[in-house]
Amino acid sequence: MPLIKFDELCVSFGTRTLLDHVNLQIDPGERVALVGLNGAGKSTLLKVVSGIQHPDAGTFWQDPAIRIAELPQMLPAADERRVEDVVMSGLAEVVRLRSEYEALANSHDQASLAQLEKLQHELEARDGWHLEQRVETILNRLSLPGDKTMAELSGGWRRRAALGAALVQAPDLLLLDEPTNHLDIETIEWLEEQILAFRGGVLFISHDRALVDRLATRIIELDRGHLSSFPGNYSKYLEQKEALLQEEERRNAEFDKKLAQEEKWIRQGIKARRTRNEGRVRALKKLREERGERRERQGGAQFNLEDASKSGKLVVELEQVSHAYEGQTIIQDLTLAIQRGDRVGLIGPNGAGKSTLLKILLGELQPDQGKVRLGTKLEVAYFDQLRGQLDPEKTIIDNVSGGRESITINGRDRHIISYLQDFLFSPERARTPVKALSGGECNRVMLARLFSQPANMLVLDEPTNDLDMETLELLEEILLSYEGTLLLVSHDRRFLDNVVTSTLAFEGKGRVSEYVGGYQDWLRQRRVAATASVKPAGSAASEAAKQAKAADKPKAGRKLSYKLQRELDALPAQMEEAEALLEALQAETSAADFYSQDHAHVTERLEALSAQELKLEALMERWVELEEMQAGA
């Protein structure tokens, strides 16, 4: 039985139709990603599912016993509420029922007894007698500090608390609206694991392509009021979408050709009109109406960078730079040289010191120790993730042009209205105050302002938040063709992989290491380094590590027993076998048609997946335990 179902559902705002006779069904266990351009109506669709927005026409059906929970886009407030209370707020209705029951518990009149019986049935149906245990379970599962206040937590931990408030409801369907905004990569990957472990249905909106690729079992696209469904993950969706767009172009070209032929025929002379076929005239009228009703695909943003003269070959050089903040070392002995044309990504947890390093690289902040040498002829354009360069009271036009009617882009004067249309702002919208814009629109204003400045060095601090996928991909293309120097702070893994040529990773205790390539390259190089240090083999360096380890053993005076040593030797092969089986189960359960199979089979395979995850985790824990015993033996 499906969880929810749309049947010819419509939602409009004024004259604008967001959902135009759409059909949708979500089944148990599906993880459905909703994609589309900013402003297409994705959040409106989620509001219909959550019950906040009612359709103008059509029907919305949901399983009568369904429990729907939502992880909101906005972070919870950093206030004085305890984390435990925030998680408990997800059960607010059950808390109310139990409070009402306890208030009536000592009443003995007939009406109160009847109400008590009714409340008892409701509480039993909702497992309302075990609220504290349910909250404690979620706190432990998400490693949340229940006694801390929200004001003591970072944004990532507040997001965990909000997820706890959703999961404590044991929902059948979980709604997520841009869950990764303003989260660091470590927290995003943690969130992915939590969603993969969740066995209910998921409907989510995200512009994080790596997250969509990993989580989605199906993509639904909202485009010009219509929903299209694409089985599989984001990579498969791109392939299918490209084929559909080519087919749409072909059909439109054939249609336009036929319309042009008929228009030419109807405009022929008196002789042709005297003998014209009235049926053909009616057909032409219908073609005109159809062409008028065709909803053209909204264009993507179009923008180019304003070029500046080249900087010197050396952009910035750091020598043995160290810096501390509030007594904590965030950069320790960093030596680095950035050359003209380098595209450098900065990655690390929130609060690690990425913005501080940017200020040092730009010469805005002197480090506590070390030398900083800036190159010559630098012209810097800076994108601020906090949008501090925008005046919320001023219009888009005034924020970008400073009141001028035209701006100069690569030596050509352009009217400001024409320029802003490249960033998808209509003339009317361009006169809107910034405070009335969505997050995605604010980011496009920032990009319009940024790209109107001559620059040979771009500094982008979280430019991808709230941007739709098409704008993200266009921004990638622009940056790849940019000949200046780029410093990029981003938690968007796919964006980093596609844009940067090297990565500065904040790895804790002030260590900032440089790696060639993007995020996946950093992961691979870090794993190789970790493997070499933990389990050396093969190279001369590895051989030296082996000899050093062997030389240390006699000092310990004892070694693992024969049985434990045999167990340790066998564990790597067992882990490899367990990983292979787990990957096979993950591939099977992520298949597009997996949830269309028999319910009992689906349940059995999901249970097998959970069991395999636990088995692999137990093997790894045992391997670590025996390695530590051996190292300390």
DSSP reduced 3-state for 395: strand
Listing DSSP states for 331-348 in one string gives EEEEEEEEETT-EEEEE-
Q: How many CB atoms lie within 10 A of CB 500?
A: 26
Output the furthest CA–CA distance in the chain (Å, rounded): 113
39 is in an annotated binding site: yes
549 is in an annotated binding site: no
Contact (Cβ atoms closer than 8 angstroms) between residue 169 and residue 127: no
Query: Which among 382, 627, 619 is positioned nearest to 487, based on CA atoms?
Result: 382
Strand partners, 16: 13
509 is in an annotated binding site: no
Written as six digits, the tokens of 271 are: 């002789």
353 is in an annotated binding site: yes
CA 304 to chain centre: 25
Helix axis angle for 131-141 and 155-167, nearest 10°, is 140
43 is in an annotated binding site: yes
36 is in an annotated binding site: yes
Q: Which residues contact 403 (CB under 8 A, 6 or more apart)?
A: 397
**Residue indicated by tokens 């009616």:** 282
Helix axis angle for 155-167 and 185-197, nearest 10°, is 10
99 is in an annotated binding site: no
> C-alpha angle 309/313/316, rounded to 5°?
105
Strand partners, 13: 16
3-state secondary structure 238-301: HHHHHHHHHHHHHHHHHHHHHHHHHHHHHCCCHHHHHCCCHHHHHHHHHHHHHHHHCCCCCCCC
610 is in an annotated binding site: no
351 is in an annotated binding site: yes
Query: Which among 489, 27, 463 is positioned nearest to 217, based on CA atoms?
Result: 27
Residue type at 453?
Q
Contact (Cβ atoms closer than 8 angstroms) between residue 81 and residue 150: yes
DSSP conformational letter for 82: B
Query: Which among 142, 167, 146, 131 is positioned nearest to 82, based on CA atoms?
Result: 146
41 is in an annotated binding site: yes
40 is in an annotated binding site: yes
Name the strand (E) or helix (H) holding 519: helix 519-534
508 is in an annotated binding site: no
How far is Cα 359 from Cα 69, in angstroms, rounded to an integer? 41
Q: Which residues are annotated as a binding site for ATP?
A: 36-43, 348-355
Q: Which residues are annotated as a binding site?
A: 36-43, 348-355
